[in-house]
Amino acid sequence: MNRSIKECFVTGIVSLGLLLAAGIPAVASNSAEVTLNHNAVVHGKNLPAGKYTVEWKTHSPEATVQFVQRSRVVLSTDGRVEQRDKTSDSTAVVYDNAPDGSLSIIEIRFANSNQVLVFN
């Protein structure tokens, strides 16, 4: 009799887990390696030149974006994922010159992808 109760309990727990997982909306997560050749600004936050892993979680089309170096989040900000008609040949960071001479990142394009991270 104890075995039957344990089997029912385990089956109930597994079923509950599956129901909860099915009810949670899927959130896509992506990452790519990016090298910033210049100090830059993203949404008013300074980002030093260097190599980063850019990680983003999409919330259709908004995204939470993190710039990570050596397993440490250097900067976290909001962005937007856009689909372009053409895929990029290489990973590229697109900058805009601010009136004060600083560079702002306005988008990041990824090699062999038509997805672009856009920062306003």
How far the first Cα of the chain sits from its last, in Å, is 63
Query: Is the Cα dihedral 113, 51, 117, 86 positive or negative?
Result: negative
Is the Cα torsion angle 108, 88, 33, 56 positive or negative in sign? Answer: positive
Pairing of strands 115-118, 29-36: unpaired
DSSP string, 25-86: PP--EEEEEEEESS-EEETTEEE-SEEEEEEEEEETTEEEEEEEETTEEEEEEEEEEEE-SS
- Identify the pLDDT of residue 115: 94
Neighbours of 10 (CB within 10 A): 10
What is this structure's pTM? 0.74
**Selected residue with higher pLDDT from 4 and 100:** 100
Q: Which tokens go with 100?
A: 């004060």
Model pLDDT for residues 87-115, shown as the tens digit of each residue: 999 999 999 998 899 999 999 999 999 99
pLDDT digits (tens, 9 = 90+) for 82-92: 999 999 999 99
What does the pLDDT read at residue 53? 97
